[in-house]
């Protein structure tokens, strides 16, 4: 079976830096896959992406050695199993709040006797190799998100759940859970303290700590702190920031006032 590059990096104690896909097209995925990042996540929770969009995006990522991940819309076994069958080498499961929910996510990622994943690999056989089922349980990454009030309270029981490879922080939902505005790259002291507590719990339990950012400044901060999984660049923000920065350099012309979300905001 083709190895999961980010699991290999984690075994070597190295951080894996990734990107985020919310634009539902295989070409956007292919462009992002050729930027040198270690992993890309197809976001089916908040991205404009359905299963029929995700499959060709997985194929596009497969033109490289980048590890293809999918954030599923919810902790729902049937979708977790479907995206793994289609070639995701890991899932990011949002809003995991307690041990039972973490166990549910893990069970959907692992074949019996370790879990309840149903047998039916399809596209993944062509990507991974014919011996996929034999090694899938070791190579597939189960990443659970900690970003709810209950999840913060029960971080230790979630992170210590057998089979959880990484705990991934969604900074904006985490902020909401703390009663703060949903800011991504967040310097609010209570946010920092909660991020630090999740990182410490991951270190205690030998689980990789992951976090979403919108900038190299915050990605670097988290890598330096010991996060093993850091999201540096979403497709949407990269596109918007580049065009705005280049447009701002022109003289003798002014850009129209943009309508809608600031490029750095959102999830």
Q: Give the footprint of ligand 3PY on this chain (CB under 6 A).
A: 147, 170-173, 212, 267
Q: Cβ of residue 267: shortest distance to ligand 3PY, in angstroms?
A: 4
CA 160 to chain centre: 19
Q: How far apart are CA 165 and CA 111, in angstroms?
A: 16
Please choose which of Mg ion, ligand 3PY, none residue 214 contacts, taking the beta carbon within 5 to 8 angstroms, the exact cut-off set by kind: none
Q: How far apart are CA 106 and CA 165, in angstroms?
A: 9
User: Which listed residue (25, 46, 114, 135) is catalytic?
Assistant: 46
| CB 149, min distance to Mg ion, A | 13
Query: Nearest approach, Cβ of 212 to Mg ion (angstroms)?
Result: 8
101 binds, among ligand 3PY, Mg ion, none (CB under 5 to 8 A by kind): none
C-beta contacts of 77-82 below 8 A and 24+ residues apart: 77/104, 77/107, 77/108, 77/116, 79/44, 79/51, 80/105, 80/108, 80/109, 81/108, 81/117, 81/118, 81/120, 82/51
**Nearest residue (CB) to ligand 3PY, 124 versus 208:** 208
Task: Closer to ligand 3PY by CB, 112 or 265: give it.
Answer: 265
Q: φ and ψ at 75, to 5 degrees?
A: -80, 75
Map residue 92 onto helix, strand or coil. Answer: strand
How far, in Å, CA of 119 to CA of 131, rounded?
A: 13
Is 34 designated active site? Answer: no
10 binding partner (options Mg ion, ligand 3PY, none; Cβ < 5 to 8 Å by kind): none
Q: Which residues contact 121 (CB under 8 A, 6 or more apart)?
A: 84, 85, 128, 132, 133, 136
Smallest distance from the beta carbon of 173 to ligand 3PY, in angstroms?
A: 3
Nearer of residues 124 and 169 to ligand 3PY, judged by Cβ: 169
Q: How far is the CB of 175 from Mg ion (least distance, A)?
A: 10
How far is C-alpha 58 from the geometric centre of its chain's CA atoms? Answer: 14
171 binds, among ligand 3PY, Mg ion, none (CB under 5 to 8 A by kind): ligand 3PY
Please give the residue ranges that form the binding site for Mg ion (CB under 5 A): 147, 170, 173
Residue 228 binding partner per list ligand 3PY, Mg ion, none, with a CB distance cut-off of 5 to 8 Å that depends on partner kind? none
Closest CB to ligand 3PY among 104 and 212?
212
Closest residue to ligand 3PY, based on beta-carbon distance: 170
Tell me the three state secondary structure of residue 150.
helix
Q: Which is nearer to ligand 3PY, 65 or 196 (CB)?
A: 196
- Catalytic residue IDs: 46
């Amino acid at each position: 079976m083709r190895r999961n590059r980010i699991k290999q990096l984690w075994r070597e104690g190295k951080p894996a830096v990734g990107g985020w896909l919310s634009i539902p097209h295989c070409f956007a995925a292919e462009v992002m896959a050729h930027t040198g990042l270690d992993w890309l996540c197809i976001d089916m929770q908040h991205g404009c992406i359905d299963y029929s969009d995700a499959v060709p995006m997985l194929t596009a990522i497969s033109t490289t050695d980048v590890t293809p991940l999918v954030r599923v819309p919810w902790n729902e076994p049937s979708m977790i199993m479907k995206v793994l069958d289609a070639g995701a080498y890991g899932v990011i499961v949002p809003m995991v709040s307690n041990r039972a929910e973490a166990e549910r996510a893990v069970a959907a990622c692992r074949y019996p006797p370790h879990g309840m994943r149903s047998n039916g690999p399809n596209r993944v056989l062509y990507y991974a190799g014919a011996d996929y089922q034999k090694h899938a349980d070791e190579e597939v990454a189960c990443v659970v998100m900690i970003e709810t009030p209950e999840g913060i309270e029960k971080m230790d029981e979630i992170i210590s759940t057998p089979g959880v490879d990484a705990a991934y922080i969604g900074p904006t939902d985490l902020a909401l859970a703390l009663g703060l505005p949903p800011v991504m790259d967040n310097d609010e002291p209570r946010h920092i303290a909660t991020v630090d507590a999740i990182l410490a719990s991951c270190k205690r339990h030998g689980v990789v700590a992951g976090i979403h950012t919108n900038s190299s400044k915050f990605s670097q901060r988290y890598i330096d702190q010991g996060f093993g999984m850091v999201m540096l660049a979403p497709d949407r923000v990269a596109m918007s920031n580049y065009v705005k920065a280049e447009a701002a350099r022109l003289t003798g012309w002014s850009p129209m006032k943009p309508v809608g979300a600031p490029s750095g905001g959102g999830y």
